[in-house]
């Protein structure tokens, strides 16, 4: 059984299409999105439509919740460009697309072919705004995981790929498909890398493996895609990152 995990797509349809091609080449039985689907990037409508056509189960990310509850973002950030970019996205998605986001679930559990469970969330099981890092102290991790147990646990949110063992559990962050960060930024301005990140969790008769994958993207194509949404408040930043 092979499960492809994508997270933090942020309206980057170009990156999603590249990852779809890579998954088609390497193979996967199930695709699951760990949240933050449509905001910040240039193509919110296209990316929701693609996930809907794929029948992809989705976890509720903090940015998905911001689209459904406009006041919630102020508990997370007051950065004007981020708030304005989320508002820009909300103005462009339809009621049917909002309904798709409402179907996102807070957590999800899957059986790993007799090798235990795969437990999925966005930030942590308790909150889509929590950061789980390679450097998070074990005692703090225990609190953030809230007593949940599984062979593999996976979440996104930090935009930084991670594979860590914690009390026997493999803790995975597939990274960001749409806006992978060069470093963990904790609210500071990030440096984006020109690739799309995702992960494959595979369960076979021999056990469980986790493959953190990166798909190269051309900066020129990323810049053109970002520039195509000229009125997106985040476009100047995205264009500068890919120049």
CB 107 within 8 A of CB 59: yes
CB 66 within 8 A of CB 86: yes
Structure tokens at 196: 């799309």
What pLDDT is stored for residue 34 in this prediction? 98
**Cα distance between residue 232 and residue 68, in whole Å:** 19
Write out 6-38 in H/E/C secondary structure.
ECCCCCCHHHHHHHHHHHHHHCCCEEEECCCCC
What pLDDT is stored for residue 187 in this prediction? 82
Domain boundaries, the chain: 2-241
- Other CB atoms closer than 10 Å to residue 237's CB: what's the count? 17
Which class would CATH give 2-241?
alpha beta
**Cα distance between residue 77 and residue 160, in whole Å:** 19
What pLDDT is stored for residue 132 in this prediction? 98
Q: Is residue 114 helix, strand or coil?
A: coil
Per residue in 160-217, pLDDT tens?
Answer: 999 999 999 999 999 999 999 999 998 889 999 999 999 999 999 889 999 999 999 9
CB 113 within 8 A of CB 151: no
**Cα distance between residue 7 and residue 42, in whole Å:** 17
**Cα distance between residue 83 and residue 77, in whole Å:** 8
pLDDT of the chain, 243 residues: tens digit per residue: 999 999 999 999 999 999 999 999 999 999 999 999 999 999 999 999 999 999 999 999 999 999 999 999 999 999 999 999 999 999 999 999 999 999 999 999 999 989 999 999 999 999 999 999 999 999 999 999 999 999 999 999 999 999 999 999 999 999 999 999 999 998 889 999 999 999 999 999 889 999 999 999 999 999 999 999 999 999 999 999 999
| Bridge-based pairing state of the strands 30-33 and 207-216 | unpaired
């Amino acid at each position: 059984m092979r499960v492809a995990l994508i997270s933090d797509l942020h309206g980057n349809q170009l990156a999603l299409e590249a990852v779809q091609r890579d998954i088609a080449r390497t193979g996967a039985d199930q695709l699951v999105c760990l949240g933050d689907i449509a905001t910040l990037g240039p193509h919110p409508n296209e990316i929701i439509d693609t996930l809907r056509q794929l029948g992809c189960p989705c976890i509720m990310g903090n940015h998905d919740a911001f689209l459904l509850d406009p006041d919630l973002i102020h508990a997370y950030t007051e950065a004007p460009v981020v708030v304005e970019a989320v508002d820009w996205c909300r103005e462009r998605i339809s009621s049917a697309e909002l309904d798709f986001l409402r179907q996102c679930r807070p957590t999800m559990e899957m059986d790993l072919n007799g090798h235990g469970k795969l437990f999925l969330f966005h930030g942590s099981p308790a909150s889509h705004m929590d950061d789980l890092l390679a450097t998070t102290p074990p005692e703090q991790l225990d609190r953030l995981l809230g007593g949940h147990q599984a062979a593999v646990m996976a979440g996104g949110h930090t935009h930084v790929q991670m594979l860590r063992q914690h009390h026997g559990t493999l803790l995975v962050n597939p990274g960001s498909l749409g806006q992978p960060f060069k470093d963990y930024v904790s609210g500071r301005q990030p440096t984006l890398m020109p690739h799309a990140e995702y992960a494959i969790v595979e369960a076979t008769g021999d056990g469980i493996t986790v493959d953190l994958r990166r798909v190269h993207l051309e900066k020129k194509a990323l810049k053109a895609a970002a520039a195509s949404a000229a009125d997106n408040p985040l476009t100047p930043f995205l264009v500068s990152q890919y120049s």
